[in-house]
Structure formats: C-alpha cells, structure tokens
Amino acid sequence: MSAILEVRDLSRQFGGFRAVGDVGFSVEKGSIHAVIGPNGAGKTTLFRLLTGVLKPTTGTVRFKGQVISGRKPNVIARAGLVQTFQITNIFPRLGTLESVEAAIMVRRRRTYDFASFLHSSAKVRAEAMDWLDRVGLADSADAVAGTLSHGDQRALEVALALSTKPELLLLDEPTAGMSPWETERTVSLVQELARTERLTVLFSEHDTDVVFGISDRITVMHRGQVIAEGTPGEVRNNAEVSAVYLGEEA
C-alpha cells in the first residue's frame, strides 16, 4: 500500500478563528477513507484546502508525491483530485445525459472537423450513457438535471465527477438530506466504484452510521483538529470520539 494523499500540519485561519488546525493524515491508494466530525468540525474547510479552493495558512498537501497545496483548483483537478460539482449550480437546465456529455467534452477539450465531431459526439454520448448507467440514472437520461430528486442529483454529480476520470474522488457529506434508501444507494455506489474503477475515495460524513460500514480508515475531527484516526473498530471504541458525539446530542 502507498499513500496517494499526504496532509501535513495543515491549518487555515479565518481572521482570528482557526477552522482547521495542524491537521495531518494520509490516504492509502485504493482505500475508502472517511473524515467524520460534528457540524463545524472543519470538514468542508479541509476539503476546500485539498481541492485548492482555499489556500492553507500553513502546512502542505501532497498528491501522488507532488506538493499541490497553493496550486490552482483546475491544476489540482487535472492532476486527478476531483470533488463532486454541485449540479444545481452548474447545469440546472441541461438534460441529465447532456450535462455528462458537457463534462466529458470539457475533459477532452479538443477541436474536431465536422466529420470527426459527429464521430466523437456519438462516442461521447455512449460514454456519458455508460456513466449514467453506472450511477443508476440510465432511465433519467432525458430528464432536466434540475428536476431530478435530491438523491438523483447527487448521483448525477458523482457521474459528472467520474467522467473527468479522477484518481482521488472527494465527496463532502454525500448523503446529506437523503432519505434512508437514497443513503443506502449512495453507500453501495461508492463501494462499487472504489472496487471497479480502482478509485480512491475520501468522503466526509456527519452521520457516523454511514461511515462504519464502508470505510477502510476513519479520521475524526473536532473543532478543526484531528482527535482520532484508525479502523472503524478502533474509532468506534475510542472514548474521546464517543464523548464528542454524545456531547453533540446532549
């Protein structure tokens, strides 16, 4: 096993407030790795630091051995570290299939003469259809993206991200707002993709039940810091982690 992502001493201040403080962890290639923690723990800020949307105040992020912290989001995405895009912000009026085609076109970013454009557009369509099929949306190919159910929109976002051929896929609270069966479907999709696409998945979750079943490793954050890290069994039996979650419910 080797680390695809290595985070060292990563911090981010907002004014005098430290949203992420000296965070360090590694993600093994091919693993499903979860970052858990109550609301406000710093999970979203951490992900924004990893994708380059935010610049760290201190620390480094290495992806496939190269330092990526401080680089632009599009450079990081092209290197293969991709977070799901919010479909509702980007392509709400496009058809489901069309939006995946658009993402594939952006990835290829080539110009074609008309004959090869027609040839390639058939290929792009077939590839887009394949991604929709993978995430269980083949029957919604013609639907307008913005009219899909909440769970289907999230699945489409996964298809869009996958169509850019990532090596490390980041999902920030993928099951937020989902019904139990949508959650179940998302969880099995993530598991299947990690296996069939040889993808590494780093996802954040607020709901601990989702995490224990599918993660190889779990990093626990609280108030911007890592308070525990280990296998699901180790984290489940960690007294500090239990205290944080009990404290939240109280």
CB 214 within 8 A of CB 191: yes
Joined together, the tokens standing for residue 188 give 């099995």
Q: How far is the CB of 172 from ligand ADP (least distance, A)?
A: 7
Is 26 among the residues that bind Mg ion (CB under 5 A)? no
Among Mg ion, ligand ADP, none, what binds residue 40 when CB lies within 5 to 8 Å by partner kind?
ligand ADP
User: Which of 26, 31, 44, 200 is close enough to bind Mg ion by CB under 5 A?
Assistant: 44
Residues of the shown chain interacting with ligand ADP in the complex, contacts defined by CB under 6 A: 14, 17, 19, 37, 39-45
Q: How far is the CB of 205 from Mg ion (least distance, A)?
A: 10
Among Mg ion, ligand ADP, none, what binds residue 174 when CB lies within 5 to 8 Å by partner kind?
none
**How far apart, in whole angstroms, are the C-alpha atoms of residue 15 and residue 37?**
23
**How far apart, in whole angstroms, are the C-alpha atoms of residue 205 and residue 207?**
5
Q: How far is the CB of 48 from ligand ADP (least distance, A)?
A: 8
Task: Give 45 or 83: the residue with its C-beta nearer to ligand ADP.
Answer: 45
Residues 6+ apart with CB under 8 A from 198: 30
* Start-to-end Cα distance in the chain: 40
Candidates 8-16, 26-34, 35-43, 48-56 — which segment interacts with Mg ion by CB under 5 A?
Answer: 35-43
Candidates 36-44, 87-95, 182-190, 236-244 — which segment interacts with Mg ion by CB under 5 A?
Answer: 36-44
**How far apart, in whole angstroms, are the C-alpha atoms of residue 134 and residue 147?**
20
Among ligand ADP, Mg ion, none, what binds residue 69 when CB lies within 5 to 8 Å by partner kind?
none
List strand residue ranges (DSSP E) for 149-196, in order: 168-172
Strand order across the beta sheet in which 58-63 lies: 17-28, 3-14, 58-63, 66-67
Which residue is it, tokens 């069994």? 233
Q: How far is the CB of 14 from ligand ADP (least distance, A)?
A: 3
Residues that bind Mg ion (CB under 5 A): 43-44
